[in-house]
């Protein structure tokens, strides 16, 4: 039985998103990146090691996950990377005072449908403040009934599907890791919908 604090594990989606970051590593130096629901922070750590200015975040209600973010930074000699408590769906002083960002990362944050709207509320808030930013996210397909399409429309967001083969992530073993294994992982890039209704 898994610990209720999901952020204490490296999940297959994190490996796939890290692979995407590695494939785009030449575009990362100087980019301002925020990872939400970071947990062990594999994507954020990769982004930071590739030269991005990274902020890691997880729920302020999960101190063990925040400590896991800090530990990952220390183990990877990234002590300069800030770790913030940001809870999805909650406007906090930390959220309001965030510096401008270019990319938001989230691996397997679409895990529990009860959190989907809170996540997209937070993403919408961040993209409104940073209209040219994008949310790069990977998710594991767990149920054909789970969809965020209606919520994307509600929050005036659009998504682009990113084929895993386009960045070499369509295999069972990635970067000497057996993750993602046989899991079905998808990736999408979410951004603000344009005013023309797209």
10 Å Cβ neighbour count for 43? Answer: 30
Rounded to two decimals, the pTM is 0.89
CA-based nearest residue to 34, from 132, 116, 101, 108: 101
How many CA within 13 A on the CB side of residue 136?
25
* Residue range 102-134, pLDDT digits in tens: 999 999 999 888 999 999 999 999 999 999 999
Given a contact cutoff of 8 angstroms between Cβ atoms, the answer to whether 20 and 187 are in contact is yes
10 Å Cβ neighbour count for 193? Answer: 16
- Domains belonging to the chain, first-starting first, are 28-132+142-155 (3.40.50.150)
Given a contact cutoff of 8 angstroms between Cβ atoms, the answer to whether 169 and 24 are in contact is no
* Residue range 12-32, pLDDT digits in tens: 899 999 999 999 999 999 999
* Residue range 97-110, pLDDT digits in tens: 999 999 999 999 99
């Amino acid at each position: 039985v898994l610990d209720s604090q999901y952020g204490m594990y490296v999940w297959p989606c994190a490996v796939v998103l890290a692979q995407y970051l590695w494939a785009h590593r030449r575009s990362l130096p100087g980019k301002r990146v925020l990872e939400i629901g970071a947990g062990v922070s594999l994507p954020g750590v990769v982004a930071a090691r590739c030269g991005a200015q990274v902020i890691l975040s997880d729920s302020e209600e999960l101190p063990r996950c925040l400590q896991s973010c800090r530990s990952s930074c220390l183990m990877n000699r990234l002590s300069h990377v800030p770790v913030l408590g940001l809870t999805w769906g909650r406007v906090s002083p930390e959220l309001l005072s965030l510096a401008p960002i270019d990319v938001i990362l989230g691996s397997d944050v679409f895990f529990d449908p009860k959190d989907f709207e809170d996540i997209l509320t937070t993403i919408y808030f961040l993209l409104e403040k940073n209209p040219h930013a994008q949310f790069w996210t990977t998710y594991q397909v767990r149920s054909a009934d789970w969809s965020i399409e209606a919520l994307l429309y509600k929050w005036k967001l659009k998504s682009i599907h990113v084929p895993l083969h386009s960045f070499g992530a369509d295999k069972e073993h990635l970067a000497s890791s057996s993750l993602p294994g046989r899991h079905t992982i998808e990736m999408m890039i979410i951004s603000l919908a344009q005013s023309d209704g797209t």
